[in-house]
Amino acid sequence: MPLDLDSERRPALLNPLRRAGDPRRKGLRRGVSLLPSVFTVGNMFCGYACVAHAMHGELETGALFIGVAIVLDMLDGRIARLTGTTSAFGREFDSLADVVSFGMAPALLVFRWGLEPLGRLGWAVGFVFVSAGAIRLARFNIQANSDKRYFVGLPIPAAAAVPASTVYLYPYGLHDYMSALPALALMLVPALLMVSTIRFRSFKTIDLEARRSYKVPLAVAIAFFAIATYPRQALVGLAYAYLISAFVGLAWTRFRRRGSAVRGERPQPAEATDSAPESPS
């Protein structure tokens, strides 16, 4: 006589290792979905810690916290894409955390480091940096970017890395009006690039399975070696190199187009790639 099993009990009896409605599996899925938000909270905590240390004059420690925040910001987006847990809530939460860690924190850090002798001009420039970062994030959230290989405008973590690495390299500060003037460019240049339409390379679409993928881990290994050997100089070099890379790429693109026009060739359009929603930074 065949067993008459209802639809709810049949999966559990046929495969006892995968019981329907297993609370442990539901808890695991819930934990995986919350993991990117945990990294985002860590990112925001680092921004808060930077502000707290900057208020006490501990500028070097505050700059290091911004560096840790950048690493956590990279991890939360990567983990969300790998686990398929990207969501509208996660993107908005990440944007709010970025305003704290890469907008407010570096602005206050540089204000205590070199903008304070400039008085009202100093705190006004810091506010311009915070505003540009918020506009950069808001624009990203509503703008559809068909080419996932590039960011439109300087990403806010990269913008924060420029003043943070500079403060980490020279944490002694600028204490008079004339010597503090270069701090204006330190904040205004990244702020203007954040709200610009200049394209910056995104490393989120790098294919590690490509034929020449060995170049990527080799470059990462060299970067880690440089940071471990000369951390201050290497971090400044990486931050400024990424900022300048957009202008080098822009000049190279125009040079190629001019060469194609001289030869009578038609320039190839940029290829668009489809991918999961990415972090706004």
pLDDT tens-place string over residues 216-260: 778 888 888 998 999 999 999 999 999 998 898 888 878 777 766
In a domain, 249, yes or no: yes
Inform me whether the pLDDT recorded for 156 exceeds 90.
yes
In a domain, 276, yes or no: no
pTM of the model: 0.79
In a domain, 127, yes or no: yes
Tell me the Cα Rg of the chain. 23
d(CA 51, CA 21): 45
Average pLDDT of the segment spanning 172-177:
92
In a domain, 9, yes or no: no
Specify the 3-state DSSP secondary structure of 199.
Answer: strand
In a domain, 51, yes or no: yes
- CATH classification at residue 200: 1.20.120.1760
In a domain, 2, yes or no: no
Provide the residue range defining the domain that includes 126: 35-263
Structural domains counted in the chain: 1
What mean pLDDT, rounded, does the chain reach? 82
Whole-number pLDDT of residue 55: 94
Specify the 3-state DSSP secondary structure of 281.
Answer: coil
Residue 105: phi and psi, rounded to 5, are: -60, -55
- In this prediction, what percent of the chain has a pLDDT beyond 90? 51
In this predicted model, what pLDDT tens digit does every residue of 4-21 receive, in sequence order?
545 444 444 444 445 545
In a domain, 193, yes or no: yes
Inform me whether the pLDDT recorded for 23 exceeds 70.
no
In a domain, 79, yes or no: yes
Residue 187 is encoded by which pair of tokens? 């904040």
Indicate the helix (H) or strand (E) that contains 200: strand 199-201
